[in-house]
Structure 1
Amino acid sequence: MAEQFKVQKSEAEWRKLLTPEQYRVTREHGTERAWTHLYNTEKRDGIYHCVACGAALFDAGTKYESGSGWPSFFAPIAPGVVGESADNSLFSTRTEVHCANCGAHLGHVFPDGPEPTGLRYCMNGTALDFTPRA
């Protein structure tokens, strides 16, 4: 049985709401090329939201330079805002991260991050929308 999310839209509605690249990443589980998104080097304080539904996902205070080429965080903004599932699309199993509110594919989480969590939430900048703090 497919997971049910609070925000439900038809594929046509998602296509109307998102740019083609946002749709490819968030709805078709795509990945942007490393080092290409401006959020990889974003240094301002603020909140990163889901580009598809607007849910707050990551605080800039948890962002760090991982050297991976994608925006990386050591923790979500709050428990339960992201979900995880097994991703067997490559030659190994990875842990996919999605928005718990709408199911948008965000990226993957790896166990090689900094303290205090030891996790690296490696996110596609295309799946995020940044709002700087005033």
Structure 2
Amino acid sequence: MKKILLFSLTAILFNCNGSAQKKENEESEEFPITKTEAEWKAELTEMEYYVLREAGTERAFSSPLNKNYEKGVYHCAACDTPLFKSEHKFDSGTGWPSFDREIEGNVAFSTDYKIGYARTEEHCATCGGHLGHVFNDGPKDTTGKRHCINGVALNFVPEDTKKDE
């Protein structure tokens, strides 16, 4: 009987895992660009939608942007907001494009508990699209940060490309 009671109590404690944390993540933040899920699905590829709108993760080493070291700027694939500069990109060896800093004001941050512990999640500050996560294991000679970003969430704009204004 004691084993059943102990097992039941343990199960209850582990199943009551932070409804406050879940609520924090489920509250929607307001972003300048908002669209319905149907509009996003019509505009994005299946993989872009999975990563940007459903907070998915692309397979490591699958993005051609991982090894791209041309000069330019990485933009949000959903809304074209400039997010990261090529001069801040480095090879982290993780299989995802990595940067030591973002373009300030263009990336929003939240806390993600999806895998059982807190991680800092990154979103496009314009459309709210999920980009990836930031960790404290980046280059120590710069910021010490590693912005680990899904390549499918980015569009690369080479430096010599002039954008129409």
RMSD (Å) for aligned C-alpha atoms: 0.8
Instruction: Give the 3-state SS of the residue equivalent to 1:57 in structure 2.
Output: strand
Alignment of 1:2-81 (within 5 A): 2-77=28-103, 79-81=104-106
Select the structure with the greater relative contact order (CA < 8 A; seq sep ≥ 6). 1
The answer on 1:108 being equivalent to 2:133 is yes
- What CA distance in whole angstroms lies between the structure 1 residues aligned with 2:125 and 2:131? 10
Which amino acid letter does the alignment assign opposite residue 108 of structure 1?
A: H
Whichever structure has more strand as a proportion of its residues is 1
Choose from 143, 150, 165 the match for 1:124: 150
Whether 2:118 is the aligned partner of 1:89: answer no
Task: Report runs of 4+ in structure 1 exceeding 3 Å deviation.
Answer: none
Q: CA deviation at 1:121?
A: 0.3
Q: Provide the C-alpha distance between the structure 2 equivalents of 1:103 and 1:15, rounded to a whole number of angstroms.
A: 15
Deviations along 1:50-77, whole A, 9 cap, x unmatched? 0000000000000000011000000012
Structure 2 gaps of 5+ residues are 1-26, 161-165
In structure 2, what is the Cα distance between the partners aligned to 1:83 and 1:38?
25
Amino acid corresponding to residue 129 of structure 1 in structure 2: N
Unaligned runs of 5+ in 1: none
Amino acid at match of 1:116: T
Q: Relative to structure 2, which stretch is displaced further, 89-98 or 12-21?
A: 89-98
Are residue 98 (structure 1) and residue 147 (structure 2) matched?
no
- CA deviations on 1:79-118 (whole Å, 9 max, x unpaired) are 2110111111113211100000000000000011113211
Q: Distance in 2 between matches of 1:16 and 1:133?
A: 29
Counterpart position of 2:22: none
Partner of 2:9: none
Q: Which has the higher helix share?
A: 2
Equivalent pairs, count: 133
